[in-house]
Structure 1
Amino acid sequence: MKKIWLTFGTVALALSLPLSSMATSNQKFTDVPPTKHFAEAVNELAERHIITGYADGMFKPGNPITRGQVAAIIVKLMELNPDYMVKDPGFKDVSKANGYYNSIAKLAEHEIMAGYSDGRFGPNDPVTRGQMASILVKAYDLPRFDFIAKENPFHDVKSTNSHGANVLNLYKLGITTGVTSDRFGINEFVTRGQASKLMLTTEHVHPETYSIETNGDKSGTMLRFSEIMADEDTDEFIPNSEIYHAAIIKGRQTPSGYTGDRVQVTPLKEGRGTLQIGGNYGMEAQNIKRYYHKYYVDVKKIDGKLKVQLLYAVDNLKTRARLKLAAGEKVENIRFVRTDGEVLSDNMPFEGYTDSPDVFIRVNKTGNFIATVRFTDGKEARYTVEVKAPPTHMLYYEVKTSKMKGVN
């Protein structure tokens, strides 16, 4: 089995906290006094030759940072070589004579920064706080969390908006806060000082994620992910596990074909979970051919850091067989036998649901069975349980249950 390891760093670090992991540097710019909250970030990035000041020796931390400047900084932070194999990004306002051309082209190639719908890039346009969030999420491949309304403290941010979702990703990781407790200022411009601290904080605390990828197909037959089933020992559809976070990141349709989807996996805490990925060949609505991949996800803390090991699963897990009950019926005992009379259990373990009177047993053998349920009032009910081998690569058996009629 193939083993893949990745590291998940500490993510709970608020932007308002000092970057204590950085050694205090000498003041690089006269207009960046050490009392400023972004001073350490500016000094460290300058020491590393990631950022530079102006010809007059000033950094001008209060100036809005431009899209071209952000591109140049991100390329250096990501250690991308902007002078190697540069592809023309095709932006009509960025010629090869532009000092940011190579950086912009490299980030466009890696789909970290894109242009406007009119074909421009806007290298001199100021960057908004929302745009910066999206750039950082893409550059560091930050976890794409799902959000519900109560997890969003900002009245000017909607999680359904592309920038909005990325703002909340940064907020959840503790990389940034709002301009007030309930307003993010998503359309306000980011200053050079603020951008320095945002970028360096993200570099320090971002988790390393692992991606399971499909292969883009240029023939028109597109391989796509459509569902994630997570958590150990359950056949319920659960989009995520307590052990790890998984998210489907869709590809794009381009003139040369579909770029392919990927599932991003981020470990959260120690333990074992399972991951089943479903998808299809062809457009999702056509559902031309279904396929599944299944993994065990082991997360362990090693040297103080969470690491994940993905093991491709070849076996099938115990699967729930749901026995539907009427309101008020309480189960005392379940007898489980094959239809040929072989007794598998006189006292089959069962579990209940939190939102239903129904119970379920777990099965791990194929065949036809009868579950006889004895209730606390002495009455009984019988259920047929049909268990079939699952389609290739699925984690769980196909189970069908039905209550038998005419039982005392």
Structure 2
Amino acid sequence: MKNWVMTIICTFGLLFISSEAKAAMQYKDVQPTHNFYSAVESLIEQKAISSHLDYFRPNEYVTRGQAAKIIAIAAGLDYENATDLDNFKDVPKSHQFYKYIRIMHNKGIITGYNFYEFGVNDYLTRGQMAKILVQSFNVPLLSIHTFNNPEKFTDLLKEYDGGFGYKQFGREVMTLNYFNLVAGISESEYGLSKPVTRSQLALMIEKLQKHKDSYTNLRKFYMYEQFTNPDDIHKLVIEDESIARIVAYTSDYGTIISYENPIKPAIVFIKPVKVGTTVITADNGESIRVTIFERDGVLRASYEKL
């Protein structure tokens, strides 16, 4: 009797899993040969998009409201529990995207055009997408000084006297590019103000979820706290990268870079790999000991001057 019951349970379980896995196949415009096939399939499994429609419409532009729902679910935000949102006149409580916009607004991830208008039916731009993804998935925001080629995408740049900086969303775009999570529409153009298609958003979310380990659980330290003469340091070398590795250098001055007096990075992000001890040596001869330890199931780091 027990074996018979278990057989029925397993059979129904397999049918359910099979149904979910094949859901993307129900879209007449999504085929296994498409580069976004697995990304769409993943969103269906997460219930971020419906599996009961005939078409996914991959080349259709995604609206700000649709994006709020898809990203909120994919990022695991607690959209059922948030402070009420009542200032956006185009997002009443009865709106299908209300609870997703509410949680994102509560967390400061999204804002409206003004206090009363969110623009729920307007198309999401690639610049807006970058900001929302960085904040929703907790990607550490890097500074302009981090990037090997900060002028890579010309449509992100804004000229200043004696230097340059980024337009709105430029820093978020370059942060995602640094972690190999986003590319431009060409070698020199990101497409900051261009709208995002549904397939592009699906692919971006898939990348963030698949490569989460590259940007999560990063530990940072300030150069001035660990080194006696941080202004003399231009490079750090970690002795044993099987224990920890340097992921990025950044600074508190995130937006503008001066040609004459570039600001040196002041913050270092490292990625703990396993429990152990190694040494970071600066090119001015100073060294610090880095100890990676585990607490509450998370790898953490402590530092000691040598």
Shorter-chain TM-score category?
A: 0.5 to 0.7
CA 1:107–1:90 in 2, change beyond 3 Å: closer, same or farther? same
Give the CA deviation at 1:272. Answer: 4.4
Code of the residue aligned with 1:163 in structure 2: it is: F
Query: Residues of 1 paired with 2:37 and 2:293: CA distance?
Result: 33
Q: Which residue does the alignment assign to 1:98?
A: 95
Does the alignment pair 1:76 with 2:73?
Answer: yes
Q: Which amino acid aligns with 1:40?
A: S
CA distance in 1 between partners of 2:151 and 2:174 (Å) = 7
Give 3-state SS (helix, strand or coil) of 1:62's partner.
Answer: coil
Q: Displacement of 1:147 after TM fit? A: 2.6
Letter in 2 for 1:37: N
Match for residue 63 of structure 1?
Answer: 60
Match of 1:27 in 2: 25
Distance 1:24 1:268, change over 3 A: farther
The correspondence for 1:229, drawn from 219, 223, 229, is 223
After superposition, residues 170-249 of structure 1 pair within 5 angstroms as 170-206=176-212, 207-209=215-217, 228-230=222-224, 232-237=226-231, 243=246, 245=248, 248=252
Residue type at the aligned position of 1:298: V
Cα displacement (A) at 1:83:
2.0
**What TM-score, normalized to structure 1?**
0.51
Amino acid at match of 2:77: L
1:86-138 Cα offsets, whole Å, 9 max, x none, are 33252232111111111101011111111123531111111111111111111
- 1:157 and 2:160 aligned: no
Distance 1:140 1:239 in 2: 31
Aligned residues: 241
Moved more, 116-125 or 59-68: 116-125
Q: Which has the larger radius of gyration?
A: 1
* Deviations 1:173-207, CA, capped at 9 Å, x for gaps: 11111111111111111100110010111122132
How far apart are the structure 1 equivalents of 2:93 and 2:112?
Answer: 16
Which of 274, 285, 290 matches 1:298?
A: 290
The structural deviation recorded for 1:166 is 0.8
Q: 2: distance between equivalents of 1:136 and 1:163?
A: 11
Give percent identity, aligned residues only. Answer: 26
> What code does the residue aligned with 2:111 have?
A
Change over 3 Å in CA distance of 1:203–1:239 after alignment to 2: farther
- Aligned counterparts of 1:90 and 1:297: Cα–Cα separation in 2: 51
Superposition TM-score, scaled by structure 2 size: 0.66
**RMSD of the alignment, in Å?**
3.7
Q: Identify which of 111, 135, 142 aligns with 2:108.
A: 111
More helix by share: 2
Name the structure where strand makes up a greater proportion of residues: 1
Q: Distance in 2 between matches of 1:297 and 1:112?
A: 37
* Displacement after TM superposition at 1:56 (Å): 4.6
Q: How does 1:264-279 map to 2 (within 5 A)?
A: 266-268=269-271, 271-272=278-279
Shift of the alpha carbon at 1:145?
Answer: 2.0
Deviates more, 1:158-167 or 1:175-184: 158-167
* Alignment-derived partner of residue 41 in structure 2: 43
8 Å CA contact retained: 1:244, 1:267: yes
Provide, for residues 332-379 of structure 1, a one-character-per-residue CA deviation record: whole Å limited to 9, x for no partner. Answer: xxxxxxxxxxxxxxxxxxxxxxxxxxxxxxxxxxxxxxxxxxxxxxxx
Residue by residue over 1:8-46, the C-alpha shift from the partner in whole angstroms, topping out at 9 and shown as x without a partner, is: xxxxxxxxxxxxxxx998624111112221111001211
Give ranges in structure 2 of 5+ residues lacking alignment.
1-20, 158-164, 238-245, 255-265, 282-287
Query: Conserved in 2, the CA contact under 8 Å of 1:143 and 1:266?
Result: no
Q: Secondary structure at the match of 2:156?
A: coil
1:267 aligned partner, one-letter code: I
Instruction: Write the deviation string for residues 243-297 of structure 1: whole angstroms up to 9, x where unpaired.
Output: 35465599xxxxxxxxxxxx997424774459xxxxxxxxxxxxxxxxxxxxx78
